[in-house]
Amino acid sequence: MVIISLDLQSESPIYIQLRNKIIEGIASKQLRPGDPLPSVRTFAQDLGVNMHTVNKAYQLLKQDGFIQIHRQKGVVINPDGMPSVDGNYLANVRENLRPVISESVCRGMNKEELMKLIQEVYEEIQKGGEHDDLH
Q: How far is the CB of 101 from its own copies (least distance, A)?
A: 6
CA distance 132 to 58: 24
Strand 36-37's sheet: what is its strand order? 36-37, 74-77, 67-70
Of 9-17, 88-96, 111-119, 127-135: span binding DNA (CB under 7 A): 9-17
Q: What is the largest CA-CA distance in the chain?
A: 54
Residue 135's binding partner among its own copies, DNA, none (Cβ under 5 to 8 angstroms by kind) is: none
Of 24-32, 39-47, 90-98, 115-123: span binding DNA (CB under 7 A): 39-47
Report yes or no: 126 and 28 within 8 Å, Cβ to Cβ: yes
Under the criterion CB under 7 A, does residue 60 sit at the interface with DNA?
A: no
